[in-house]
């Protein structure tokens, strides 16, 4: 059972914050951020919610696919920054777009969320429980950043990407995924404190903490290995791949993965949007997919690789035909 992408969409908050803008509020510089990460700017929410961005992206994907929201059987949102504990973002999206026949739920796989969502959809398709799905990766990460911690707040951005996918008998869908919970502390944001009549934790709101070097090492080792495995499973070689659409965390991670996969320094097959968006966790792969799609870079039948990796730790690499 394979997946077919019928349409894609994405949405970013209106407010663009450049590295120079950030240098006005935290002790950093354009030179530091650009040289270590490749990031030049990011979009930050000035009120746009995770649900609103998801809905905007979904409407664009539905429009491109030319299908009615009522024909969607399954809605999955990958997010670590929902507006509410419950209901899920997926249920809020369902209500907003009128996808009355869908089953809807969120998953937390951080930057791998969109990829994990695609695999869940593939499983539903294989079982015959769904035929058409809306998969979203969406974040308002600015709400979980410590805006006094220059080591993290400069890296991330807000936004959402969506894809309408359908099951098909022929075609390609091979995915390799994994998790390493033992390294979870490398990238962590704690929930609100436990407070009840019998127990009171300190009343402290927590924000994102990251061991940047540990995450960097994990990414450059695990991602190329997972991609190679997925390509082997699919019987696909580098020469067959039109584009590698990687999670947009850091240009140096992408360059390193590119080198390990293709042996060269060229990023031609590794499109990037992180310069303008920063790292949008679960949003980054579907936003990049939508960008490539709308730029006319993808044609039917093109073989593409997509890979997500991040907190958990989690990772997933997939090979599919566009
Ligand atoms: N501006 C200026 N200086 C800074 C900044 C900043 N924004 N952030 C940190 N520094 C300083 C530190 O204080 C430190 O100063 P010191 O030497 O005087 O103590 C110095 O820069 C080096 O700090 P490191 O944290 O060691 O910086 P490093 O070279 O490791 O780069 C970075 C940090 C860019 C985060 C790097 O570790 C990295 O790329 N990691 C990958 C992690 C990543 O991309 N995470 C994204 C989320 S996870 C994911 O999506 C997969």
Between the CA of 165 and the centroid of ligand 1 the distance, in Å, is: 37
Q: What share of the chain has pLDDT > 90, as a percent?
A: 96
Nearest CA owner, ligand 1 atom 20:
151
Averaged over 220-224, what is the pLDDT?
Answer: 96
Nearest residue to 219 (alpha-carbon basis) of 264, 187, 188? 187
C-beta separation of 164 from 10 below 8 A: no
Nearest CA owner, ligand 1 atom 12:
151
Mutate to test the pocket of ligand 1, among 19, 156, 215, 317 (most ligand atoms within 8 A of CB): 215
Nearest CA owner, ligand 1 atom 21:
151
Task: Read off the pLDDT of residues 2-44 as tens digits, 9 standing for 90 and up.
Answer: 999 999 999 999 999 999 999 999 999 999 999 999 999 999 9
Query: Catalytic: which of 92, 111, 189, 277?
Result: 111
Task: Read off the pLDDT of residues 160-169 as tens digits, 9 standing for 90 and up.
Answer: 999 999 999 8
C-beta separation of 168 from 4 below 8 A: yes
Q: What domains sit in the chain, N to C, each tagged with a CATH number?
A: 2-169 (3.40.47.10), 174-321 (3.40.47.10)
Averaged over 254-277, what is the pLDDT?
Answer: 93
What's the confidence (pLDDT) of residue 146?
95
Ligand 1: lining residues by beta carbon, under 6 Å: 28, 32-33, 36-37, 111, 150-151, 154-155, 187, 210, 212-213, 215-216, 219, 249-250, 279, 309-310
Between the CA of 104 and the centroid of ligand 1 the distance, in Å, is: 37
Nearest atom in ligand 1 to 284's CA: 50
Between the CA of 32 and the centroid of ligand 1 the distance, in Å, is: 9
The residues facing 319 across adjacent strands are 174, 305
The residues facing 315 across adjacent strands are 178, 309
Task: Read off the pLDDT of residues 63-110 as tens digits, 9 standing for 90 and up.
Answer: 999 999 999 999 999 999 999 999 999 999 999 999 999 999 999 999
Is the per-residue pLDDT at 265 higher than 80? no
Nearest CA owner, ligand 1 atom 3:
28
Task: Tell me, yes or no, if 91 is annotated catalytic.
Answer: no
Averaged over 225-249, what is the pLDDT?
Answer: 96
Instruction: Tell me the C-alpha distance between 271 and 269, whole Å.
Output: 6
In the numeric block, the tokens 């996969």 are attached to 261
Task: Tell me, yes or no, if 209 is annotated catalytic.
Answer: no
Query: Catalytic: which of 91, 153, 250, 279?
Result: 279
Task: Tell me, yes or no, if 43 is annotated catalytic.
Answer: no
Nearest residue to 150 (alpha-carbon basis) of 216, 210, 219? 210
What's the confidence (pLDDT) of residue 167?
95
Between the CA of 186 and the centroid of ligand 1 the distance, in Å, is: 13
Between the CA of 192 and the centroid of ligand 1 the distance, in Å, is: 26
Nearest atom in ligand 1 to 36's CA: 34
| Average pLDDT score over the chain | 96
What HEC string does 87-130 produce?
A: CCHHHHHHHHHCCCCCEEEEECCHHHHHHHHHHHHHHHHHHCCC
Kindly indicate the confidence band of residue 264, based on its pLDDT and cuts at 50, 70 and 90. Answer: confident
Query: Catalytic: which of 19, 91, 189, 247?
Result: 247
Between the CA of 145 and the centroid of ligand 1 the distance, in Å, is: 15
């Amino acid at each position: 059972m394979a997946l077919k992408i019928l349409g894609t969409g994405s949405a970013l908050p209106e407010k663009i914050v450049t590295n120079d803008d950030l240098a006005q509020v935290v002790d950093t510089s354009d030179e530091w951020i650009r040289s270590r990460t490749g990031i030049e700017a990011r979009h930050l929410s000035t009120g746009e919610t995770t649900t609103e961005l998801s809905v905007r992206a979904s409407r664009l994907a539905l429009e491109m696919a030319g299908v009615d929201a009522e024909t969607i059987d399954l809605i999955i949102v990958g997010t670590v920054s929902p507006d509410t504990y419950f209901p899920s973002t997926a249920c809020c999206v369902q209500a907003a777009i009128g996808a009355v026949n869908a089953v809807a739920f969120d998953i937390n796989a951080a930057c791998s969320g969109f990829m994990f969502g695609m695999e869940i959809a593939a499983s539903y398709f294989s079982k015959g429980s769904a035929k058409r799905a809306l998969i979203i990766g969406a974040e308002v990460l600015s709400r979980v950043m410590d805006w006094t911690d220059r080591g993290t707040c400069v890296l991330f951005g807000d936004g959402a990407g969506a894809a309408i996918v359908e099951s098909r008998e022929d075609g390609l869908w091979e995915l390799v995924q994994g998790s390493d919970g033992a390294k979870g502390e490398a990238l962590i944001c704690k929930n609100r404190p436990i407070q009840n009549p019998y127990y009171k934790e300190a009343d402290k709101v927590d924000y994102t903490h990251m061991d940047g070097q540990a995450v960097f090492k994990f990414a450059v080792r695990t991602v190329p290995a997972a991609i190679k495995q997925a390509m082997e499973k699919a019987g696909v070689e580098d020469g067959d791949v039109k584009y590698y659409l990687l999670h947009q965390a850091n240009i140096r991670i992408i360059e390193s993965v590119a080198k390990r996969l293709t042996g060269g320094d060229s990023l031609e097959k590794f499109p990037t949007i992180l310069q303008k968006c920063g790292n949008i966790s679960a949003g980054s792969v579907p936003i990049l997919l939508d960008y490539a799609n709308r730029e006319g870079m993808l044609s039917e039948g093109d073989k593409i690789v997509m890979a997500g990796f991040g907190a958990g730790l989690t990772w997933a690499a997939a090979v599919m035909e566009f």
